[in-house]
Structure 1
Amino acid sequence: MTVYSTFGIAEESPARTVYFAGSGNAALDQHLIQLLRGELEPATSVTEVSDDQLSTLDNGPIITVGPSAFSRVRQANRSAPILAMLVDRPFISGFAGRSPGQITAVLYDVPLIRQALTGKAILPQATKIALLATADSVELYEPLIDELPAYGMSARIFLVESNDNLISTLVRALGYGDFLLAAPDSAIYNPRTIKHILLTAYRRNQIVIGPTQAYVKAGSLASSYGPFPEMVEMAGDFLATFFETGQFPPPAYPQEFRVDVNAQVARSLNIPLPSREDIATRVDRQLTIKGEASDE
């Protein structure tokens, strides 16, 4: 005679569906789906949806990958709960602020203070940071400028008024700072300009930190970044909260960051380069010490 555990049956998770609106990059989308399926409970399915299905989704939350996917979903279905991935804070903050609990994100950009400390971990003597900005992006740097003195650093913004004076402004910035800190500002740092920015810095024996892991491969010396498994783990926590309460937590950064470096650039500039793990540990220690001090 077989005895079934009524407790075990009662404890089974209810069947749930999470919809997935991808970036269009098949390899990236499938990698994220695989990570999500490994993170979520077995009873929670991850279902890819096409654009023509978006307007009909009225129950399950939708994960979007990248700004374009988020915009498509938001335009097609204003009532859908959305968890955005691979978007930065400047892009998503307005949407999340207007629809708290309905729209959230696991933020893809890296806090600029963390990027600044990544540069200082490589150049401990650094005290001055150069920043390039347009009139529209100056505000990106204001919180950073307020935070830096606590870490023995300061920054100056060099305003790029047009594409024509990008390089001349860059040259002035490189003459001021111990390194150039790049933010996710697509008006300045984009595929059309990055080669010229990096070559100009290299020829003047100056380094660029950030803005993303992809730019390290192009010739930036280093960048912190949020690893995909950590971002997916946070997405799983956000979804669990949503299923429990019907509301998403506010957008947030992952708890763990790693560092990518370009060792060839370091050798060419004769810069001693700590290990990636050592850089990340130094940055975490600085942020922890400052956080503990501010709590006292």
Structure 2
Amino acid sequence: MERSTGKADQKRSICGIRSLFPKTLCILLLTVFSVFSGAQESQGQESQGRVVYFAGSGNAPLDQHLIQLLRGELAPATSLIEITDDQLATLDSGPIISVGPAAFSRVRQANRSAPILAMLVDKSFISGFAERSPGQITGVLYNVPLIRQALTGKAILPQANKIALLATADSVELYEPLIDELPAYGMSARIFLVESNDNLISTLVRALGYGDFLLAAPDSAIYNPRTIKHILLTAYRRNQIVIGPTQAYVKAGSLASSYAPFPEMVEMAGSFLSTFFETGAYPEPSYPEEFRVEVNAQVARSLNIPLPSREDIATRVDRQLAINGEASDE
């Protein structure tokens, strides 16, 4: 009511001085005023009506941290609303941010028409969905391009030129682009096939005998909470290092891993949402532009490896990628 009264007063103000203007000019001024006010109202309603839904991972501290970062990144007039699984099927508009593969799967199964922005997912997980539903499904990729992980290892061991890789029959393709990229950086790699859980350690021993370090990809069939302790201990006893697969594994005993910081991922998510609101379609899944490096200084000391600073390692990797042209495991 106050807004309507204000407009009426403005109109009366314009026409209240019509003695100073011809009648036709007054009508023209009123028309311009009405169009301008209508555009402002429409724009304001559109901005105020923007809603982004959030389907969390189930890890409360992680979800709340992401919500806090997202609310700081999104436009002030955009609402971020947490939703439960029961609410997914009833949503008929608005993009949904899902956190992790399980949350994405729940959202996708409950609402096939929902535009989804997946966070904390690997490229291998989300690519197929994005290709089948371009513009409707995208992701801020959580895994690190393997060429970057390989160069992280070389930044620590400059003399390294042979990389050992463990894979199952289902995950061999994860490494194929990397093998093609490595020669440009003076390195090569060999895949050692793990045929079953029973021969994991024996295959690992052969791999460690070949490579200057073991490069771990986000392959949950090999690198998981049940196996990682045995893998790391076996490598440690043979004075070999493991690079990757994620920041979390560095705490467990990997020597180092590159990772995408949460603020960078959230910034990209905000950019993707802005594009969606402006065009009605998401960009393709992408990696954040900035990566950092996590290191385990205790492991380095135990193996008598001089360890550059995290910043120095990241700078060396960025320099190599800039010189050779960054490839992103495509």
TM-score over 0.5 (shorter chain): yes
Write the distance in 1 (CA, Å) between the matches of 2:226 and 2:295.
22
Write the distance in 1 (CA, Å) between the matches of 2:91 and 2:103.
15
Residue of structure 1 equivalent to 2:309: 275
Residue of structure 1 equivalent to 2:188: 154
Write the distance in 2 (CA, Å) between the matches of 1:102 and 1:58.
14
> Which amino acid in the other structure matches residue 88 of structure 2?
L
Q: Please list the CA deviations of residues 200-258 of structure 1 after superposition, one character each: whole Å capped at 9, or x if unmatched.
A: 00000000000000000000000000000000000000000000000000000000000
Write the distance in 2 (CA, Å) between the matches of 1:149 and 1:15.
52
> Which amino acid in the other structure matches residue 92 of structure 2?
D
Matched, 1:211 2:252: no
Residue of structure 2 equivalent to 1:196: 230
> Which amino acid in the other structure matches residue 190 of structure 1?
N
Write the distance in 2 (CA, Å) between the matches of 1:232 and 1:285.
25
Structure 1 unmatched ranges of 5 or more: none
Residue of structure 2 equivalent to 1:80: 114
User: 2:49 is matched with which residue: 3, 15, 37?
Assistant: 15
User: 1:142 is matched with which residue: 154, 164, 176?
Assistant: 176
User: 1:284 is matched with which residue: 315, 318, 327?
Assistant: 318
Matched, 1:226 2:260: yes
Write the distance in 1 (CA, Å) between the matches of 2:71 and 2:40.
22
Larger helix fraction of residues: 2
Residue of structure 1 equivalent to 2:100: 66
Write the distance in 2 (CA, Å) between the matches of 1:9 and 1:282.
50
Q: Please list the CA deviations of residues 2-27 of structure 1 after superposition, one character each: whole Å capped at 9, or x if unmatched.
A: 999x8995775343100000000000
Q: Secondary structure at the match of 1:229?
A: helix
Write the distance in 2 (CA, Å) between the matches of 1:32 and 1:258.
18
Q: Secondary structure at the match of 1:249?
A: coil
Task: State how many pairs are aligned.
Answer: 291
> Which amino acid in the other structure matches residue 291 of structure 1?
G
> Which amino acid in the other structure matches residue 196 of structure 1?
H
Q: Secondary structure at the match of 2:325?
A: helix
Write the distance in 2 (CA, Å) between the matches of 1:105 and 1:234.
10
TM-score (norm 1): 0.95
The Cα RMSD (Å) is 1.8
Write the distance in 2 (CA, Å) between the matches of 1:230 and 1:249.
16
Q: Please list the CA deviations of residues 230-289 of structure 1 after superposition, one character each: whole Å capped at 9, or x if unmatched.
A: 000000000000000000000000000000000000000000000000000000000001
TM-score (norm 2): 0.86
Write the distance in 2 (CA, Å) between the matches of 1:291 and 1:185.
26
Q: Secondary structure at the match of 2:80?
A: strand
> Which amino acid in the other structure matches residue 150 of structure 1?
A
Q: Secondary structure at the match of 1:129?
A: strand
Write the distance in 2 (CA, Å) between the matches of 1:88 and 1:57.
26
Matched, 1:108 2:145: no
Q: Which moved more, 1:14-23 or 1:81-90?
A: 14-23
Structure 2 unmatched ranges of 5 or more: 1-5, 11-35
Write the distance in 1 (CA, Å) between the matches of 2:87 and 2:143.
29
TM-aligned CA deviation for residue 58 of structure 1: 1.4
Write the distance in 1 (CA, Å) between the matches of 2:222 and 2:50.
43
Write the distance in 1 (CA, Å) between the matches of 2:292 and 2:146.
14
Write the distance in 1 (CA, Å) between the matches of 2:251 and 2:308.
18
User: 2:207 is matched with which residue: 167, 173, 177?
Assistant: 173
User: 2:89 is matched with which residue: 55, 69, 79?
Assistant: 55
Write the distance in 2 (CA, Å) between the matches of 1:9 and 1:265.
61
Q: Secondary structure at the match of 1:260?
A: strand
Write the distance in 1 (CA, Å) between the matches of 2:218 and 2:75.
34
Q: Please list the CA deviations of residues 139-169 of structure 1 after superposition, one character each: whole Å capped at 9, or x if unmatched.
A: 0000000000000000000000000000000
TM-aligned CA deviation for residue 291 of structure 1: 1.4
Identity %: 86
Residue of structure 1 equivalent to 2:280: 246
Write the distance in 2 (CA, Å) between the matches of 1:177 and 1:239.
43
Write the distance in 1 (CA, Å) between the matches of 2:54 and 2:212.
43
Larger radius of gyration: 2
Q: Secondary structure at the match of 1:23?
A: coil
The runs of at least 4 aligned residues of structure 1 exceeding 6 Å deviation read none
